Structure formats: C-alpha cells, structure tokens
Structure 1
Amino acid sequence: MAGLHGGAGVAKIFFLIIFIVVLIVGGLLWVDFLGLIDARETLAPILKIVRLDVPEPIEQPDDLYLLDRERLEKQQEALDIFEASLVAREEGILIREAELEELTSQLEEKQKSNEEKEKSLNEALKSYDNKRANLEQNATYLEGMPPQNAVSIMLEMDDTELVDLLRTSERLATESGKSSLVAFWLSLMPAERAAEIQSKMALKPED
C-alpha cells in the first residue's frame, strides 16, 4: 500500500509541474499578445515541440507611416508606368520625325531635280530663240548683199548651218510675201555642192 501511495504522489507532482509550465507558457503568450513583452522567440522551441505555430511578427506594427509608405510605393509604381509610356511615346515620335525628315529630303531632291529640268528647258528654249534670231539676222544681212558676195560667205559654212540659213531665208520671204533668193543663190554655187544642199534641205525637217 505504501508503494501505491508513493507512486500516486509522484504522479501528482509530475502533473502539477506540467500544469505550472502550461500556466507559465500561457501567461507569457498572453503578455506577448498584449504587447508588453516579446516572448515568441523564447517560446518558439517549446511551441514547436507541442506543434503550435508561432505567429509571424508583423513588421513594425506600430509604424505610424506604414500606410503612407505603401501609398507612396503605389504612387511610385504608377509614375514608373507613366514614365515608361512617355518613353515609348517619345520613341514613336522620334521614329515619325525621322520618317518625315526622309520624306522631306526626298521631296526636296525631287523639287531640285524638277528645277534643274526646268532650267535646262529654259536654257534650251533660250538657245533656240537665240539661234532663230541669229539665223533671221544673218539671212536678212545676206539678202541685202550682192548675190555673189553672199554665196561666197555661204560656201564657207558647213552644210548644217547653210541648210538652216537657206530655210530661214525661205520662211522670211514667205512671211513677207517676197520672192525667195534661195534658188538664185544655189544656182551660183558649184553644181555638186548645190545638189548636196538641196538634197539635205529636202530631208531635214523644218524647225
């Protein structure tokens, strides 16, 4: 009987010790919950043994500026997105400007080419007008000379110049209603040269 009473006493002491430990741990957790002390790290090994999860501490729970920082972070993210859109828009504008510059350069080159063509055409027309005026002046001058003297000057010309001169003389005579001296001039030339000039006058189109 003494052995039974001794075993019961040991069991009571063991359960009392466990009960006291539970009260101590519970008290520490309650004090930690109230924020008076930080007992989580101290009790973590014991809680893991009894398979109780240790709540993760909230980073700076008493930080009065936590909400402000979160709001600023969101604003910064929005600004970063807006900045990225501005950069993309700027790149698009730069690409468009490059395309417009290339198009402008092409238009300028085309305009310059057209101006050069127009200038060449004007010069050709001016040259033609000058040549026409010179031929009319020379034809009028030769018509006022003695025929033999006029023929002597004509024989010094090459065939192309002579053909243009004779045709101009014929045109002026027709326009003024006078008789042309071309046939008479040709009769005063060597027969071979006269025949060659007449042949070229028939083949060469009138200007």
Structure 2
Amino acid sequence: MTETSALVEDMTRSELEDRVRELEDAVEDLRELTGKRGAETNQRMSSIEKQLEDVQTAVSAHGEQLSAIADVGGKKTSKDEKITAIATFAMRKSDANSTKVLVDAGEMQGCVDCSRRYAYDLIDDLAEDDRAEWASLQKAESVPTHKGHREKKKALRVNVDVLQESSQDHEVVNKFTTRSPTGGA
C-alpha cells in the first residue's frame, strides 16, 4: 500500500472527489509544461497519474462500500432478500482468521429489520434449509466454565468459506433464489 493509499482511506467521498479534480488539473498543467521541461515533467506527470489512479480506485471502492453498508440496514421485503442480507452481514463480520461466525437474533433484527421472533424463525429455517449449506444451528445452552456457567445464545453459525464458494457458484445461487436448479418456481 502506498503512502497515498493510506491517506486516501481516511478521506470522505467528497474529499476524494475534490482530490481527484485537483490531480486532474495538475495533470493538465503538467501536460502543457511537457514541451518546456521534457523528462523531468514526464516523471512528475507519471507520479501524479499514479496518485490519480490510486484516488480514483479509492473513490470507487468507497462508493461500493457505502452502497453495501446502506443496503444491509434497508427494509428487506422477501425472505430471500433477508437471507442475502444475513449472508452479507456474516461475510463482513468475519475476519481473515475466522472461517465461522455467529449471527444471533439481535444482529439479524438489525440487518433485516424484523421482529426478534422472526429472527429466531430465520435461524431455524436457515439451519434446516439444504440450499443454505453454509448455515448451521448453535443451540442455546449453558456451558460450564472454570468460574461457573456461561450461557450460549441461540445463533446461526455461518461457515464463511462455504458461503463464499457458494456465492460465486451461479447455479447454487439460482437454486437458492428460484427454488430449482434451472430457474422458475
């Protein structure tokens, strides 16, 4: 990661867009000077163009992140939309060191805007659904510890590796959303 990339990650979208405009203006100015300063100007222009590419990439990624984040909290109308939002939430919740994450009813309520009871129903449905091979049930239970007992919440255990593989397999996605391997209901 370049120094420019590190600075870009801390900027807002409007700041990034302003920076892109500044860099585009600088590139234009340098193009006018190219005939006057030759190799020195070409080197500076290449550096600025690289910075411009970094900023444009960051602006694009920033916009995609904002769109995805905005979608997670939005009202989901169909069960499949809710399941997709839950899967997206689980993938974002995971980190490089974890292949499995837990999504409890409270988190489901937040990401799909549903009642707590319906969140528990979704946990049960997904854990039993053959099309959601990435999901399993963590039952609520009391677990003994060296200090007594700890209560485990009922949650959906998501195998992120399996989820990522199935989200890239269009046939699996088609079976999931249309309930058949070829499409249609």
Q: TM-score, normalised by structure 2?
A: 0.30
Larger helix percent: 1
Higher relative contact order (CA 8 A, sep 6+): 2
Larger strand percent: 2
